[in-house]
Structure 1
Amino acid sequence: MIRKRSLMRRTAVVASAGAAALVLAACGGDGSGDGSAGHGGHAATASSSAPASASASASQGQHNAADVAFAKGMIPHHRQAVEMAGLAPDRARSAEVKKLAADIKKAQGPEIRTLSGWLTSWGEDVPAEGAMDHSMHDMGGMMTAEEMTGLENASGKVFDTAFTELMIKHHEGAVEMARTERTDGVHGPARKMAGEIIDSQSAEIEQMNQLLGKG
């Protein structure tokens, strides 16, 4: 009896161990199956997100005629603003006007380089230095040669007033051009720059109006 009981216990233990092994094997199979499915699922997700990323990258590289017009128009526009600002250190009396001019040069110089880089990457010509035709004088508050000469010949308070009044018109033109880019352009970085121009130059217009006592 004792031997029979011992044998039965051993058989039960072996059977239990065998059953446990089967369960573990089954679980391992399911786990590995789930892992494969899981990896497959992640792979599928990654592959499905890849086209989206590629599409986003492609979108960043896209541009249209409005983007080209924005860059080609804003480059000479910025160049003239930088030229105007360059007159301030030796001619302005107001410390506020001198600081404003320095801020304009600091902001618009790098933007000219960025705009030029876009045009080059798009296979477009970058406007030559000093290249202005009559149509540009009608574009966004651009100064005429006579106005520029008058500003060069002014000094002190007369310069401060003339510079501020002319730069307000200049900025208003830039803001208008930037709004057109925001509406019609498709190049993400160009539209972002346009938004920054609207914000920064609108703030400077308000500042200049205050300097003129119009704020």
Structure 2
Amino acid sequence: MTAFERPIRIGAVLVLGVALSGCTAGSAAPEATNPTVQLGAPGEPNRTMSPEEAAGIEEPAHTEADVEFMQMMIVHHDQAITMTEWVEERTTDRDIRLLAERMRISQEGEMDLMAGWLQERGTPLRDEHGGHGGAHDMPGMLTDEQLERLEAADGEEFERLFLEYMIQHHQGALEMVADLWASDGGQEQAIGQFARHVEGDQAIEIARMQSMLAERAS
């Protein structure tokens, strides 16, 4: 079953709010006094804004680059989920199975969130004009030959291929996030937070899988 045949649930989107101070009995609600923090670009520090600056802020709108990123990442995640679904029947290794289950749950949840983000903005779940080429043209995507090799493998060979191919897949996702930043996408708060989450989560998993590969080679 593909990503677009699965039932889609609207995902919750985290937003950064400005806290309001409490009200004393019998008094009117005071104005917000907590500082407003502007999130820095990747590699840059955050900045505290003046009240005048905060009052003039308009939430950045999403861009075409944001839409393309979400559409492509849904397809990208769908292939990773397919890979995790092969694990249970092909290895009894506890670490591999736990890793795959965590990935499956995490990426299914992220697919729901991405689908919700697109639906809330009235955009399709996939590029209807085929502007991105085939799915295998996306960074990190496995070729048909790689998928066939992984599906046919078993035991230790499957474990090694699963780790190698999933590292490749995750590195592709990081490249897609980098491309988003380079195109000045990710300025809308919801997608910016999501892209940073993907960046951090998949970098951690890459390091874990590289360690698991090294343990098996020793």
TM norm structure 2: 0.67
Which amino acid is the alignment partner of residue 200 of structure 2? D
In structure 2, what is the equivalent of residue 65 of structure 1? 64
In structure 1, what is the equivalent of residue 151 of structure 2? 152
1:88, 1:98 within 8 Å by CA — same for their partners in 2?
A: yes
Listed one character per residue, the Cα deviations across residues 166-190 of structure 1 (whole Å, up to 9, x for unaligned) are 0000000001112232442122111
Listed one character per residue, the Cα deviations across residues 55-93 of structure 1 (whole Å, up to 9, x for unaligned) are 55x43xx20011011101100000111110111111123
In structure 2, what is the equivalent of residue 17 of structure 1? none
Change (3 A) 1:99 1:191: same
CA RMSD of aligned residues (A): 2.9
Give how far 1:148 is off: 1.3
In structure 2, what is the equivalent of residue 113 of structure 1? 112
- Taking the aligned partners of 2:214 and 2:171, their CA distance within structure 1 comes to 18
Which amino acid is the alignment partner of residue 196 of structure 2? G
- Taking the aligned partners of 2:106 and 2:55, their CA distance within structure 1 comes to 31
Listed one character per residue, the Cα deviations across residues 128-157 of structure 1 (whole Å, up to 9, x for unaligned) are 9xx9x8532121110122211221111110
1:93, 1:155 within 8 Å by CA — same for their partners in 2?
A: no
Give how far 1:94 is off: 2.0
1:140, 1:177 within 8 Å by CA — same for their partners in 2?
A: yes
Listed one character per residue, the Cα deviations across residues 19-44 of structure 1 (whole Å, up to 9, x for unaligned) are xxxxxxxxxxxxxxxxxxxx9xx79x
Query: Which one is further off, 113-122 or 167-176?
Result: 113-122
In structure 2, what is the equivalent of residue 142 of structure 1? 141
Secondary structure of 2:214's counterpart equals coil
1:82, 1:105 within 8 Å by CA — same for their partners in 2?
A: yes
In structure 1, what is the equivalent of residue 206 of structure 2? 205
5+ long unaligned stretches in structure 1: 1-38
In structure 1, what is the equivalent of residue 188 of structure 2? 187
Structure 1 runs of 4+ off > 4 angstroms? 51-56
Secondary structure of 1:90's counterpart equals coil
- Taking the aligned partners of 2:188 and 2:168, their CA distance within structure 1 comes to 27
1:93, 1:160 within 8 Å by CA — same for their partners in 2?
A: no
In structure 1, what is the equivalent of residue 85 of structure 2? 86
Listed one character per residue, the Cα deviations across residues 73-119 of structure 1 (whole Å, up to 9, x for unaligned) are 10000011111011111112321111110111111111111111111
Give how far 1:194 is off: 1.0
Which structure has the highest helix share of the two?
A: 1
1:91, 1:155 within 8 Å by CA — same for their partners in 2?
A: yes
Which amino acid is the alignment partner of residue 205 of structure 2? E
Aligned residue pair count = 165
Percent sequence identity over aligned pairs: 32
5+ long unaligned stretches in structure 2: 1-27, 34-50
In structure 1, what is the equivalent of residue 38 of structure 2? none
TM norm structure 1: 0.68
- Taking the aligned partners of 2:141 and 2:64, their CA distance within structure 1 comes to 22
1:182, 1:191 within 8 Å by CA — same for their partners in 2?
A: no
Give how far 1:54 is off: 9.0
